[in-house]
Homo-oligomer: A and B are copies of this chain.
Amino acid sequence: MSDSDLHLRNQLCFALYRATRLIQQIYRPLLDELGLTYPQYLVMLVLWERGTVTLKELGAELDLDSGTLSPLVKRLKAAGLVTTGRRAEDERSVEIALTGKGRSLRERARDIPAKIGCATQMQLEDIVALRTALGELADSLAESHTAMAAAR
């Protein structure tokens, strides 16, 4: 344990924070053309995979809660990309479904990953390795977090 641990550039967390914001700046002009923000794009990715999801499932997939997702989905709805409605079997749940417009937006998003990959200047295998390492880190952090929450 040394003082160097408190140096900004020695912190994994700052490296994550910086890389995350920089990569979102690469996405921004591409997503602007689709009229989406980055979190909205993530929601659309889930919908393009599944067609229909509940808000709760969306939250589990993205690690986000209703405080973030409710207003976000409301904006997607206002943009005509999704419809929402309570589930008949359980009226607590909200189901979110793609509209035709929402589904067709996927075509215009198709070339985004390639453009991003280009900006990273990385080999595909390095990207995959980094993604895998980050996924494992996130999983153990999620575990630590729920363990700490349970201890309270």
List the interface of chain A (C-beta within 8 A of B). 1, 3, 5-27, 29, 38, 42, 45-46, 48-49, 61-63, 106, 109-114, 116, 119-122, 126-127, 130-131, 133-135, 137-138, 140-145, 148
Given known contacts A18-B63, A148-B29, is B140 in contact with A8 (CB within 8 Å)?
Answer: no
22 A-B pairs whose Cβ atoms sit less than 8 Å apart in the complex: A6-B45, A6-B109, A7-B49, A8-B46, A8-B49, A10-B131, A12-B127, A12-B131, A13-B20, A13-B23, A13-B38, A16-B19, A16-B20, A19-B137, A22-B63, A22-B142, A22-B145, A119-B145, A121-B144, A126-B133, A130-B133, A133-B133
Given known contacts A119-B141, A121-B144, is B23 in contact with A16 (CB within 8 Å)?
Answer: yes
Chain B residues whose C-beta falls within 8 Å of the C-beta of A25 in the assembled complex:
141, 145
Q: SS class of chain A's interface: helix, strand, loop or mixed?
A: helix
